[in-house]
Structure 1
Amino acid sequence: MNVTFPSICCALLLIAGCADGNNQPKESEAAAEVYASDVLSFSDRWNLILGDGSNVGHPNDFEHPDFFYVAESDWVVFKSPNAGDTHGTSNNTRTELAQTKKWSPDTPAKLSAQLKVMNVSATGDARVAASYSVVVGQIHSADGHENEPLKIFYKKFPGHTKGSVFWHYEINTAGPDNAGRWDYSTAVWGHDFSVVGSEENTYPEEPADGIALGETFGYEIEVKDGLMRVKFMSEGHETKEFTKSLVDSEYTSAADIPEQTQQLFVPIGQDGLEREEAYADEYLFFKLGCYNQTNGKSPEVNRNWCSGAETFGGDLQKQYESGNYAEVWFKEANITVSDAAVSNEGYFIKND
């Protein structure tokens, strides 16, 4: 057999390449997977609840293609349909991180986050205040009625380019009956919760100073000595800051019930009063993620919280294909609490 000089050279080059192969990246190494816990590196401080109602626990090196994964290498996607199995006693699905420790409102606690909302439900009843909205951050009580002194919302009506960011304070109802509890809503950019449509498919005016889908904004929640401070930031928008006592109620008599509450909640029997000490003797914890506020329940049940949205009988893929879900991306988040914080395991045992 004749062997030419070029053939010998090629063979030598191939041998050299093989010998040096250990210095080359393998395909699997070049495409190493990035998990949410690589982006938000505090996973040990949270349990992850998915949009199917399940509790993942600490989401270290975890992803779920339907609910929780990384996009564009440095954004964590939280996704939740209009209908499915829910966590605890809620009517709404969520993909959300819940803090594994709880703390007293008189001790320091802080949560900050940078995020963008990518989708809210395509359907719902415009007269229902919760339609087309998602909660992206919370302070939740682990005790008593397990009410929520803070919920941060994003809401955008169909056909609008810009949506609204607003926050809620939920009263910690006096007495053993929590059925009379209500929220008070405060606008940040755009409208508050009370701005609704006049008909099922008629929408209010689009907010001039609103936030678009895919537009980044941030919040910072700080609790210290019983006082909650909430700050909102977004490029091109005025920074807004609010304060609220968590230990001294301003809603202890019928005369204290705000006009907004008189219009929204009192007509449906939610007309309770708050404990004088509010949340003073209860432990609290943070939540962060995508708590979809749109659901398929009839507005006749509750015209503030039951959206009458499309759910396809709970079929997940049909909801996703038709835009009937909420999706929130987080890029940054940080949390600090005092050494006095204690385990929140009892909350999960009760609600899982």
Structure 2
Amino acid sequence: MRIKNMKLSSTAILLIGFALILSSCSNTAKKSSQNEAAESVYASEIIPFFNHWNLILGDGSNAGQAINYEHKDFFYTANDGQTDWVVFKAPNGGDTHGTSNNTRTELAQLKKWYPATADDKLTATLKVMNVSATGDARVAASYAVVVGQIHSADGHENEPLKIFYKKFPGHTKGSVFWHYEINTAGDDNSGRWDFSTAVWGYDFSIVGTEENTYPEEPGDGIALGEEFSYEIVVKDGLMSLIFTSEGHETKTFTKNLIESEYTTTADIPEQTQKLFVPIGQDGVERDIAYTGEGIFFKLGCYNQTNGKSPEVNMNWCSGAETFDGDIQKQYETGNYAEVWFKTASIYVSDDAVSNQGYFTKND
């Protein structure tokens, strides 16, 4: 009788133990799920300035103000083991926004302001994680992404500033450079062109001699995944730029946005003569440049590599793989741009902000 009772007690103990294990596993799973939920953050929690912007996604749609918002294909957050980052991602091909040939996941400032009366600043710290794996090396925009801009909302809607990152296939280091686009004189904007200035590595004009032949790797370039920062200040018509990155020389530049230096054909720089004049872009700028036009900041991932044939335009049409707009296939094969932002800030003075308030034009 004692033996039978002992057997029952052992069985009961085993059952109780098994139940406790199941309960423990269940609680652990719940805790794990709760931790994951607690660790999940929105972009607006990392960089709390999204009330100043509308977000354009890589499928051409306007997501509006991205507060407590994410999109698994284009806009979300990631942690690199130390820091939370805001991820902007855009494929080579797909639906685009406005008149552009290029996809973007990018913030566009909601209010415009005027360069002559400005006291405005945008700063960002970022790292580029991917540029397109394909493209035509002879096309200057191939393998490039724009990570910050100033854009005009009026007139020709040209761009007094674009900040680029570009890396050729097979290279470890890429280049950072910035562009000024002339605000073309007259009603015809077809002659507009960009002038490119190198920060680290090459400028826009350094291209391959053949479709799959690349220049030498830049010695002072920036690698994928390497942090760098920019600061853009526009005050009383003068744009000042500061670029910093650990282990690299700090670079500073200035450009007058209200008085042009390109008002005659004799003023067209040699770089422009090489890149743009051969394709018919040989305009001159109006004397007052961007005076009187409302302008606004942009920030994010504006992919410069697209699938259009280089025969259309040897500066901007990359002939890259787009898989007929299949976004997932492009992501699987490296045919996309991806930029991670760690910090960013915006300041716009009250005097510089347009009394017209919000606007909708946005190329």
Common fold: TM-score over 0.5: yes
1:65 paired with 2:72, answer: yes
Matches within 5 A, 1:1-352: 27-28=33-34, 31-32=37-38, 33-72=40-79, 74-105=84-115, 106-340=117-351, 341-342=353-354, 345-346=358-359, 348=360, 350-351=361-362
Specify whether residues 248 and 76 from structure 1 end up closer, same or farther in structure 2 by C-alpha distance, changes over 3 A only: same
| Secondary structure of the corresponding residue to residue 317 of structure 1 | helix
RMSD: 2.2
Distance of 2:308 and 2:36 partners within structure 1: 47
Shift of 1:345: 3.2
With 26-35 and 104-113 compared, the bigger mean Cα shift is at 26-35
Q: How many residues align?
A: 340
Q: Percent identity?
A: 74
- Aligned AA for 1:202? T
1:24-47 CA-to-partner distances (Å, cap 9, x unmatched) read: 978436632200001110010010
Distance of 1:146 and 1:295 partners within structure 2: 21
1:275-330 CA-to-partner distances (Å, cap 9, x unmatched) read: 10000110111000000000000000000000000111111011101000000000
Contact 2:112 2:358 in 1 (8 A): no
Distance of 1:46 and 1:202 partners within structure 2: 40
With 28-37 and 311-320 compared, the bigger mean Cα shift is at 28-37
Asked which structure has the greater CA Rg, the reply is: 2
1:168-226 CA-to-partner distances (Å, cap 9, x unmatched) read: 00000001111000000000000000000000000001000000000000000000010
| Secondary structure of the corresponding residue to residue 273 of structure 2 | helix
Contact 1:99 1:344 in 2 (8 A): no
| Secondary structure of the corresponding residue to residue 290 of structure 1 | strand
Distance of 1:317 and 1:345 partners within structure 2: 34
Distance of 2:318 and 2:118 partners within structure 1: 37
| Secondary structure of the corresponding residue to residue 330 of structure 2 | helix
Distance of 2:35 and 2:206 partners within structure 1: 51
Contact 2:153 2:362 in 1 (8 A): no
Specify whether residues 338 and 170 from structure 1 end up closer, same or farther in structure 2 by C-alpha distance, changes over 3 A only: same
Shift of 1:344: 5.6
Distance of 1:194 and 1:29 partners within structure 2: 49
Distance of 1:207 and 1:100 partners within structure 2: 37
| Secondary structure of the corresponding residue to residue 66 of structure 1 | coil
Shift of 1:101: 1.0
Shift of 1:351: 4.6
| Secondary structure of the corresponding residue to residue 350 of structure 2 | coil
1:151-173 CA-to-partner distances (Å, cap 9, x unmatched) read: 00000000000000000000000
Distance of 1:230 and 1:351 partners within structure 2: 23
TM-score, normalising length: structure 2: 0.89
- Aligned AA for 1:274? E
Contact 2:119 2:234 in 1 (8 A): yes
Shift of 1:130: 0.3
Q: Structure 1 stretches (4+) deviating beyond 6 angstroms? A: 1-4
Contact 2:140 2:316 in 1 (8 A): yes
Distance of 2:173 and 2:32 partners within structure 1: 45
Shift of 1:335: 0.4
| Secondary structure of the corresponding residue to residue 244 of structure 1 | strand
Distance of 1:282 and 1:74 partners within structure 2: 37
Shift of 1:107: 1.5
1:26-75 CA-to-partner distances (Å, cap 9, x unmatched) read: 84366322000011100100100000000000000100010000000610
